[in-house]
Amino acid sequence: MRLNRFIASYSNLSRRKADELIAAGKIVVNRQVANPGTNVSEKDTVVVNGKKLVATPRSHRIVLLHKPIGYVCSKDGQGSPTVYELLQKSMQNLNIAGRLDKDSSGLVVLTDDGLLMQELTHPSNDKEKVYTVTLNKPLADGAIAQFARGVNIGDARVSKLEVLPLEAGKTYQVRIHEGRNRQIRRSFESLGYRVETLHRTQLGPYKLEPLAPKQFKTL
CATH code (residue 162): 3.30.70.1560
Contacts of 90 (CB under 8 A, 6+ apart): none
Residue pLDDT tens, the chain, 219 long: 899 989 988 887 888 899 999 999 999 999 999 998 899 988 899 999 999 998 776 678 999 999 999 999 999 888 999 999 999 999 999 999 989 999 999 999 999 888 888 889 887 788 999 999 999 999 999 999 999 999 999 876 788 999 999 987 899 999 999 878 889 999 999 999 999 999 999 999 999 999 999 999 999
Q: Would you say residue 57 lies in a domain? A: no
Q: Would you say residue 178 lies in a domain? A: yes
Say whether both 75 and 101 belong to one domain. yes
- Entry field: residues in the chain: 219
Q: Would you say residue 160 lies in a domain? A: yes
Say whether both 115 and 214 belong to one domain. yes
Q: Would you say residue 76 lies in a domain? A: yes
What CATH number is attached to the domain comprising 69? 3.30.70.580
What CATH number is attached to the domain comprising 29? 3.10.290.10
Say whether both 89 and 28 belong to one domain. no
Say whether both 132 and 199 belong to one domain. yes
From the list 28, 7, 31, 33, the residue with the least C-alpha distance to 18 is 7
Contact 94, 112 (CB under 8 A): yes
Peptide linkage before 138 cis (omega within 30 of 0) = no
Domain limits for position 25: 3-52
Q: Would you say residue 23 lies in a domain? A: yes
Answer yes or no: 101 catalytic: yes
How many structural domains is the chain composed of? 3
Q: Would you say residue 105 lies in a domain? A: yes
Say whether both 141 and 36 belong to one domain. no
Residue of 76, 101, 112, 155 marked active site? 101
Backbone angles phi, psi at 96, to 5 degrees: -90, 125
